[in-house]
Amino acid sequence: MFDSTASLRQRFSSLRSGGEFFSLRHVRQSHQHLSVRKNVAEPPSLGRDEGAMLTVRVSGVEAYAATADLSQAGLQQALDRAEALARQIAGYSLLDLRDQPVATARADYCSPDLEQAFPSLAECYELLERESNSVPQDPRLVNWQASLGLSNVEQIYFNSAGAQLRQAQRFVYPGLAVTAFADGDSQTRTLGRDNFGQQGSLGVLQRCGLIGAGVRIADEALQLLLAPNTPSGTRDLLLMPDQMMLQIHESIGHPLEMDRILGDERNFAGTSFVKAEDFGHLQYGSTLLNVTFDPTLREELASYGHDDDGTPATKQFLIRDGLLVRPLGGALSQFRSGLDGVANSRACNWNRAPIDRMANLNVEPGDQSLDQLIGGIEHGILMRTNRSWSIDDARNKFQFGCEWGQLIENGELKGVVKNPNYRGISANFWRNLSAVGDAGTFQVLGTPNCGKGEPNQVVRVGHAAPACVFSQIDVFGGDA
C-alpha cells in the first residue's frame, strides 16, 4: 500500500488562505481486473489515479477545486481557485455555514488483513484458470468466465482545524458466470452477479466461495435450462441474501438518502417517496425490520473510520422495529434539514465533491434458521441472485428478476424454476416482512458500481442481510 502522509502533510502546512477554514482530501488508487473466458486468459485491465480536492470556507460560503498537480504550487493554485469561487458566489449562497462544525480528529483506518501481500498477476491468473477449466465439457455450456477485481485505495484528509485522517483500503471482487443454451433458450448462473465484494485479502475468495465453484455454477445453469417457467400468482417469497442486497439497496438505501429527499437528485436520479417529516413517524416495515448504517463490519465494502468530510462513522439504526428513525444524511444535509443523520458524505474520487451516499446498509438478523424459514411456508418460492431491476423515480414501485428460483410447498423445497420475478411497492413490501433469518443465514455482500449524482459518481456500497420471508407477494415468470 501507499503512504503519502508525511510529504503531503508538509505541503498542506505550507498552504495559505484568506478563508476561515480550508481542507485537503487526497486520493491515490490503483485497480486491476483479470478474467479468464472459456479457458483463455484475457488481457488485464490496469489503472492508477491520484489527485486532491481543496475546499475553502469564506464568510460561511464553501467552494472547492480539484487538481492532479500535487506540487506545492499546484495545491496552492487549486486552493486559490476555490477561495476565489467562494467569494464570487457569496451573494448567491442559500446557506451560511459559519456555525457548521468541522472535523478535528486524528486517526488511521486500514482494511482487515492489509498487511498480507496479495497474490501476483500470474498467481491470480492461475487461480482463475483452474476455476474456468473446472467447468464441464458440455455442448450446452456456451460461455463461462472467472474474474477477479482488485483495488487499493489510500485517502488522506487534512484541514486547518487540525484534522489528520488516513484510510488505507483493499477491495476484492471475485466473479464467476456460466451461460447454458439449448432449444432457443439461454440461462446464466453466477456466483452472485456483481454482488460479491469485500475488503481484505485472500480470505475474501474463501468467504465468497469462488474456489471450487465452477462445477456447481455450471450444473445450476443446466438445471435452469431444463426447469419450467416460474408460475404466476400470489405467494410467500423467501429472498436469499444476494437478492436481499438489491432489495435493500433500491427500496431502502436510495429512498433514505437525505439529499434525494431534499430534492437535490430530482434532475438526475429522481426523488424519494419518503418525506422529511416521516422520520420518527412512518412505519416503513413490519416490526421485524431493523436496518442499520453499520461501518463496524470491517470486511464489508463501505466500512471506514470517517467519511469524506471527516465525520466519525458509527453504527446507527435507520429503521428500528419497522419505524423509520434516521435518514442517510451527512453533515451538510443534517445542517440543512435539522435531522440527525450518519457519516455518509462520500465522493467517488478526488475530483468529485462528497454527497449523501448509502454506505454499509444492513438488515439485522432475526432468530430463525433457514430450515425454519422454509418450514413456515405453505405455498411460496425461494429466489436468489438478482439479474434485473426496475424501480420508479421515487424509489417506490419496483419489479425485480432473479437468476434462480425454487418452489416451496408445505414447508419443503421442491423443483427449480427459471425466470423468477416479483413486484411490489416499497413500504408495503417491507410491511409484509413475516420472518427474518438468524446469523447462520446472514451474508456480507456489496457492489462497486452504485451510481448517483450529476456529474455521475460511482461508489462502493456494502449490504449485509439474512434470508427473509415476505408474505403474499406478486410473483411471475418470464412469459408474464
End-to-end CA distance of the chain: 51
Average pLDDT over residues 409-432: 97
Between CA 69 and CA 162, with CA 10 as vertex, the angle to 5 degrees is 110
Residue 480 confidence (pLDDT): 52
pLDDT band at 1 (very low <50, low <70, confident <90, very high): low
- What cell was used for 444? 456480507
In angstroms, the Cα distances linking 62 to 26, 107, 138, 213, 306 are 18, 25, 61, 51, 20
pLDDT at 238 over 90: yes
Alpha helices in 22-103 (DSSP H): 72-89
Predicted confidence band of residue 337 (pLDDT cuts 50, 70, 90):
very high
Cell numbers for 67: 487538481
| Cα–Cα distance, 190 to 218 (Å, whole number) | 9
pLDDT digits (tens, 9 = 90+) for 248-283: 999 999 999 999 999 988 877 789 999 999 999 999
Predicted pLDDT of residue 2 = 60
| pLDDT for position 251 | 97
Q: What does the pLDDT read at residue 270?
A: 86
Q: Choose between 118 and 4: higher pLDDT.
A: 118
- Which helix (H) or strand (E) segment holds residue 109: the answer is strand 106-110
pLDDT for res 66: 98
Cell of 164: 489528520
pLDDT value, residue 76: 98
Convert 124-136 to b/e letters by CB count within 10 Å (16 or more is b): bbebbeebbebbe
The per-residue pLDDT for range 93-103, each reduced to its tens digit, is: 889 999 999 99
Rounded Cα gap, residues 205 and 243, in angstroms: 20
Cβ-contact 176, 213 below 8 angstroms: yes
In this model, does residue 442 exceed pLDDT 90?
yes
Is the pLDDT reported for residue 375 higher than 90? yes
Fold entry, domain 5-226: PmbA/TldD fold (3.30.2290)
Segment 131-169, tens digit of pLDDT: 999 999 999 999 999 999 999 999 999 999 999 999 999
Residue 183 Ramachandran class (φ > 0 left, ψ -120 to 50 alpha, else beta): left
Domain ranges of the chain: 5-226, 233-476
Rounded to an integer, the average pLDDT of 10-14 is 96
Average pLDDT along the chain: 95
Q: 105-140, pLDDT tens digit by residue? A: 999 999 999 999 999 999 999 999 999 999 999 999
Burial class (CB in 10 A: 0-12, 13-18, 19+), 54: buried
- Has residue 77 got a pLDDT over 70? yes
* pLDDT at res. 6: 87
Q: Going by C-beta distance under 8 Å and a sequence separation of 6 or more, which residues neighbour residue 107?
A: 164, 165, 166, 305, 306
- Per-residue model confidence as pLDDT tens digits over 288-324: 999 999 999 999 999 999 999 999 999 999 999 999 9
Q: What's residue 206's pLDDT?
A: 87
Statement: residue 192 has pLDDT above 90:
no
Provide the grid cell at 411. 414447508
